[in-house]
Amino acid sequence: MAIIAKRGEISSILDSNLDQGEVMKKMKQEFIDRYKSLLGDRFNEFIKYSTAFINKAIRINPLKTSKEEFIDSLNDDWILEEIPWTSNGYWIKNIKEERFDIGNLPQHQLGWIYIQEAASMIPVEVLNPSRGSIILDACASPGSKTGQIAGMVGDEAVIIANDIDYKRMIPLASNLERLGVRNTILSISDASLIHKKISNIDFALVDAPCSGTGTIRKSLKVLDMWSPGLVKKMASIQKKILASVFQTLKPSGIMVYSTCTMEPEENEGVVSWFLDNFDARLEEIKLEIKMSEPIKSFNGIEYNKEVRKTLRIWPMDNNTEGFFVAKIRKNG
């Protein structure tokens, strides 16, 4: 049986991965200047965490197993630590093989678990969809959050898992099949036009395409791709997707917007624009997680005061990816 760790035993581990000086050389000066202005004296801490391995995490799939059954199925080479902001998530570590590929576990192949970064589990917890509802996952591939939604509602809801093209459907369909998800309709559509095809939605998740600056510790390609132009482009796409998905909601429907970027223009800026242009309001997010203050203004632009209700976490807040989440309710 796996060993259950005390809080912080795994999640506090900071295993240095890359030379910080070499990573700084890869950063464009514009990026450094921007993040120093955002973080102030936390900038060096941001670099420290962004150049460290991320602790492995899994989500137990209640469609196929229970926590108890899964924990009993592992030998005592494995240590698990509960992720406090989600009901079925654990950080996981192998004592003997530090870099063991969890994907090789038979429990993974059977669909008992899904390998998912701890912060990535936040948006569905915030959405908190109810049984008997119709749920849209607008940017669903590869299926991490669709599977998490299905685990919460069982077979007692209808999920529409949408993505933009056939190629993205392949990993989505494969993962949902492995997880034993049976209540999901697959949809191929540009999420910025989805209101033309879909309506009457109770809960919608928009885990939007973004510049990904919360994920540097997973891939330094983020630094190569980053530019102010990319940030502006992504913010424009995100606004179009939010506007379309919002139109699919019933009155009083809930929409969660999330990204894995730290860029204010893609996060608080997009939400501020949305609140200024649509009949909606933000709801408070209450999770057992360390949050940072949302960005209230950037580059001379003051954001809607309601952005204070959004969730912003930097990689160093909880030793995870950086993430941003907003919970939006349609008025009516």
Q: Are 326 and 291 in contact (CB under 8 A)?
A: no
Structure tokens at 7: 């809080």
CA distance 256 to 206: 6
CB burial of 119-155 (b: ≥16 within 10 Å; e: otherwise) equals bbbbbbbbbebeeebbbbbbbbbbbbbbbbbbbbbee
Helices 268-277 and 228-248: angle between axes, nearest 10 degrees? 40
Q: Is 260 a catalytic residue?
A: yes
Would you call 299 helix, strand, or coil by DSSP?
Answer: coil
Would you call 93 helix, strand, or coil by DSSP?
Answer: strand
CA distance 222 to 213: 6
Alpha helix (H) ranges present in the chain? 20-26, 29-39, 43-50, 67-73, 106-109, 122-127, 144-153, 166-179, 221-225, 228-248, 268-277, 315-318
Among 234, 260, 313, 316, which one carries the catalytic annotation? 260
Give the active site residues. 260
